[in-house]
Structure 1
Amino acid sequence: MHQDRELQALLRLTAWLSPAFPIGSFAYSGGLERAVADGLVRDSGMLRCWLETLTGKGSVWNDAVLFAEGHRSHADAARLAELAELAAALAGSRERHQETMLLGEAFLTAAQAWPDDVFGRLPKKASYPVAVGAVTGAHGIGLEKALAAFLHAYLSQAVSAGIRLGVAGQKDGLAILSGLEEHMIDVAARAARSGLDDLGSATVQADIAGLRHETQQTRLFRS
């Protein structure tokens, strides 16, 4: 029975973080489109560096910390409300706020196909990492495994965006994902041990790119 529960958790995690899960993540680049337009990311090597920095020291690291806190707080409605408010306030631009809130809303709507009391404890509007963290925690999915899957889903989508923006090919994209496996494991382990005092980023160029995207005339993505 224990093995059956583990397999069930794996199946749910795979479904929720699959590119096919209907949240619309393909529409966002998190500022990457502007970075490409400004010449900050010009090839697959620079794309890998960009993504490694964001996940280790930037906005995605903060998302991982918020995910972990949401996972641990899944049974506490008051704590989840505070966390959701903090996560929304941390969004560094209008598009970043729109991205994380709309993805969170879409995730909570779709994930209710797996009923659980956690949906009543979460605010109606919660950022994406808080929403996914709380739901995976409520379903008994291990924090470190959930974080690793969350980071992999982000990187897969970001690599796909890079391919669509013409800075990498499909073979390059797979090499990036393969090359960042140890990095994902390390970030997941650090985030699993983190607390809110570990929030913080040092990716000024990425933050500026996210802001500058708001005025970009020709674009494929919403952020």
Structure 2
Amino acid sequence: MNEAARLLRALQFGDSVFPVGGFAFSAGLETAIAERVVTDVESLSAYTRTALEQATRGDSVGLIWAHRAALAEDLTQLGQIDAQVYARKLSGETRTMSVRMGKKFTELSAEILEAPLLQSWREQIANGATPGCYPVALGINFAVQGLSARDAFAVHHYGVAAMILSAALRLMRIDHVETQQRLFALCTGTDADYEAAAVMPLSDMAGFAPVTEILAAAHVKARVRLFMS
């Protein structure tokens, strides 16, 4: 695959309009705004940076390990990794987000790429043998295409930030220029974040952010909700 094709493949499967339902989630931002944890552009940036740090130590570690297992075509290990990613989702909404996006991403990937490993993974999800979390699906997709774990990490990192900032446009007084400025700044340290995640053992995968978890729990009982998380 030449460099242009490699870039285009990463862009396609990392695009925010790739139809896996990410637009329906705010990653806890809706409740953060309602509870006045996020009140302005600066606190929005801080909230998004926390989400990226959480992803670096959590989902992204699972993604990298899933990419390695997919390169080895080790379906058993992929199932073990998926179970560990799922187990670290403390709130029901977070689990729902990950498995809904992961299932849809796997189904679409299998139809587009027609790779045997993706077909097998789709069957594992369909028969209930594995939850099918999004980071694992993304890792498998990039591995079967010959795209690197770093590429997959960058796409995932960008997606976390873009999801929150896109939701902010619908939830608070902020314009497209401000969100793009923040997105640009937040993604500057992605290489360093990847290097940190890439050396972590799977057993160290964690996304400890108690305020975020409390906000997620509060969102479940919210009387008015625009987003699913």
TM-score with structure 1 setting the length: 0.92
Residue aligning to 1:145: 151
1:210 aligns with 2:213: no
Contact 1:68 1:194 in 2 (8 A): no
Residue aligning to 2:16: 19
1:103 aligns with 2:101: yes
Per the TM alignment, residue 190 of structure 1 is displaced from its structure 2 partner at its CA by 1.7
Contact 2:55 2:207 in 1 (8 A): yes
Residue aligning to 1:42: 39
> Partner letter of residue 39 of structure 2?
R
Per the TM alignment, residue 182 of structure 1 is displaced from its structure 2 partner at its CA by 2.1
- In 1, the alpha carbon distance for the partners of 2:115 and 2:196 equals 28
Total equivalences in the alignment:
219
Query: 1:162-213 CA deviation, whole Å, 9 max, x = no partner?
Result: 1111153211101111111222222122222322133123311011101110
Unaligned segments of structure 2, at least 5 residues: 126-130
Per the TM alignment, residue 53 of structure 1 is displaced from its structure 2 partner at its CA by 1.3
1:83 aligns with 2:81: yes
- In 1, the alpha carbon distance for the partners of 2:173 and 2:153 equals 27
Residue aligning to 2:28: 31
> Partner letter of residue 68 of structure 2?
R
Residue aligning to 2:63: 67
- In 2, the alpha carbon distance for the partners of 1:62 and 1:77 equals 21
- Structure 1 stretch displaced more, 108-117 or 191-200: 191-200
Residue aligning to 1:171: 177
Q: CA RMSD in A?
A: 1.5
Query: 1:12-48 CA deviation, whole Å, 9 max, x = no partner?
Result: 2111111121101000012111111000011111111
